[in-house]
């Protein structure tokens, strides 16, 4: 079961330039300062932190540890920063960060429902209801949804999930991949979480193997 908690996350300095950003950049690269300034003196802001247990699924399993953090971006109620740190073998990157819109979570839900009709897709509240919830309630619901998705091993073969979590491709580009028009992959040099305090925190949990 995922452990969900609301924490004050350090170094979440907000960038005024975020308001004009097209968050779904197609280059595969995005400056992570748009999620955080990296300043230790930045004011603490609320985010949602989850420690998720994902089954390894192999004959000789290893202990799998996954951390998911959702943060608000600037004062925007639509943009959400998703940080993922994991040692699970199904993911190409051990640590990544991307920015997605509120509506994109519903796109992911519908895509999973379409491509995995025999699995009960994790639920999301009706969009109008969640849209007018507080920012913290919204983050909690979206984080719970993602944790449930990550806990289902059958979804790990879904390309849309990996492109959603570990790239900055637009939803249109992700859909083109599903339609067979494009064949993008998780980049080797993506936007990574380079905050020193986050890296130290992850290393305390995962050990130095995350850097190998």
Sign of CA dihedral 124, 193, 93, 172: positive
Report which secondary-structure segment, H or E, holds 201.
Answer: helix 196-206
Crossing angle of helices 171-178 and 159-166, rounded to 10°: 160
> Could you report the per-residue pLDDT of 79-109, keeping only the tens digit for each?
999 999 999 999 999 999 999 999 999 999 9
**What helix, strand, coil percent values describe the chain, rounded to 5?**
40, 15, 45
157, two tokens: 């073969």
> Could you report the per-residue pLDDT of 126-166, keeping only the tens digit for each?
999 999 999 999 999 999 999 999 999 999 999 999 999 99
69, two tokens: 């953090």
Percent of residues, the chain, with pLDDT higher than 70: 67
Average pLDDT, the chain: 78
- Beta-strand ranges (E) seen in the chain are 3-9, 45-52, 66-72, 79-86, 95-101
Entry pTM: 0.74
Residue 173 confidence (pLDDT) above 90: yes
């Amino acid at each position: 079961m995922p452990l969900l908690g609301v924490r004050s996350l350090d170094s979440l300095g907000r960038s005024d330039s975020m308001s004009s950003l097209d968050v779904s950049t197609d280059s595969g690269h995005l400056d992570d300062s748009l999620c955080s300034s990296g300043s230790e003196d930045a004011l603490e802001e609320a985010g949602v932190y989850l420690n998720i247990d994902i089954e390894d699924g192999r004959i000789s399993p290893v202990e799998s540890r996954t951390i998911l953090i959702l943060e608000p971006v600037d004062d925007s109620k639509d943009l959400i920063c998703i940080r993922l740190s994991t040692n699970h073998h199904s993911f190409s990157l051990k640590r990544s960060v991307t920015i997605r819109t509120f509506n994109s979570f519903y796109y992911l839900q519908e895509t999973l429902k379409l491509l995995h009709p025999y699995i009960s897709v994790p639920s999301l509240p009706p969009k109008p209801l969640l849209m007018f919830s507080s920012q913290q309630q919204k983050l909690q619901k979206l984080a719970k949804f993602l944790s449930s998705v990550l806990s289902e091993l059958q979804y790990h073969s879904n390309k849309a999930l990996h492109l959603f979590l570990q790239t900055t491709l637009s939803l249109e580009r992700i859909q083109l991949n599903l339609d067979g028009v494009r064949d993008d992959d998780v980049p080797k040099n993506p936007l990574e979480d380079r905050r020193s305090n986050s890296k130290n925190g992850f290393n305390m949990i995962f050990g130095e193997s995350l850097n190998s």
